[in-house]
Amino acid sequence: MSSLRILVPIKRVIDYAVKPRVNKAQTGVETAGVKHSMNPFDELSIEESVRIREKKSAPVEDICVISAGPPKAQDVLRTAMAMGADRGIHVDVKEGEDLEPLGVAKLLKAVVDKEKSNLVILGKQSIDDDSAQTGPMLAGLLGWAQATQASEVKFEGDSVLVTKEVDGGVETVKAKLPMVITTDLRLNEPRYASLPNIMKAKKKPLVKMSLSDLGVANERRLKVVKVTEPAPRQGGGKVEDVDGLISKLKELGAI
């Protein structure tokens, strides 16, 4: 197998444990002063890349992480490097001018061409817009094989075997490089970056780029008309015992 040049796209999102609040203007979610961190699925992508290198399941030449966003996106890139990525690329995109998945896929295609990547590992979705599109979109633009929602990645000869989570269970597919893989939660358990590795990560190369450096424009196709809070759900109170539970369920017509 040719040695792997892995590209891992990562996204800085509102931390998964924070309950997001819709802003007053109903244009989006309040982000100022809210804790952000790396999209949880992207941590899995980095972990898997580092494990491929550590287990020597295939020769790894390079693990490059990339994030598009405001300067604060560099924080998640440093975290990724502390976890074991070799270098980072930060594509500067102003706050409020976020790319849509198609835009990200086009950007990543340009980076793949430039960096001669042969394996791209992405999270299956980001927990902010919940689109679950970028991975397959990138594979479509590149004309590469794809395996989404991976729970296991194995190398066998010159093929990659990926076990995917599907609706009724799991499915295994096999493809040759180059390919795009998206990660699902059960793929691995991401490591914590140790303090020495956090210090070392500060010295790893981090290149800054703009969209125009990559020949990509931020062309938005969706207009956000409004963002609202979901209809609140009121708890109906508690009952004393099992009989109370049954009669309440009968009263509600649920049984």
Partner 1 sequence: MFSAARTTAVRSARNLPQATSVFASPYSPSALHRLLSTLAVLEQRDGQLNHGSLSAVTAARKLGGSVHAFVAGANINAVANEAAKVDGVEKIIAVDNAAYDKGLPENYAPLLLENIKKGGYTHVVVGHTAFGKSLFPRVAAMLDSQQISDITAIENENTFVRPIYAGNAIATVESTDDIKFITVRGTAFAAAEIGGGSAAVEAGVDPKVESTSDWVSEDLAKSDRPDLATAPKVVSGGRGLKSKEEFDRVMLPLADSLGAAVGASRAAVDSGYADNSLQVGQTGKVVAPQLYMAVGISGAIQHLAGMKDSKVIAAINKDADAPIFQVADVGLVGDLFDKVPELTEKLKSS
Q: Out of 25, 32, 195, 242, which residue is the one contacting partner 1 (CB under 8 A)?
A: 242
**Three-class SS state of 4:** strand
Lookup: tokens for 7: 């590209």
Tell me which residue of 128, 8, 141, 138 sits closest to 66, measured CA to CA. Answer: 8
248 lies in the site for partner 1, by CB under 8 A: yes
46 lies in the site for partner 1, by CB under 8 A: no
Residue 20 pairs in a beta bridge with: none
Nearer to partner 1, 20 or 70 (CB): 20
Nearer to partner 1, 105 or 201 (CB): 105
Number of shown-chain residues binding partner 1 (CB under 8 A): 79
Burial code (b: 16+ CB inside 10 Å, e: under 16) for 62-71 equals bbbbbbbbbe
32 lies in the site for partner 1, by CB under 8 A: no
Q: How far is the CB of 202 from partner 1 (least distance, A)?
A: 31
Residue 106 CB neighbours (<10 A): 22
Burial bucket for residue 13 (CB in 10 Å: 0-12, 13-18, 19+): buried
Q: How far is the CB of 208 from partner 1 (least distance, A)?
A: 26
Query: Which one of 45-53, 78-86, 175-183, 195-203 is the stretch in contact with partner 1 (CB under 8 A)?
Result: 175-183
- Measure the CA–CA gap between 149 and 129, rounded to whole angstroms: 17
203 lies in the site for partner 1, by CB under 8 A: no
Task: Scan residues 117-156 and list those touching partner 1 (CB under 8 A).
Answer: 127-141, 144-149, 151
Contact string 91-110 vs partner 1 (x = CB under 8 A): ---------xxx--x-----
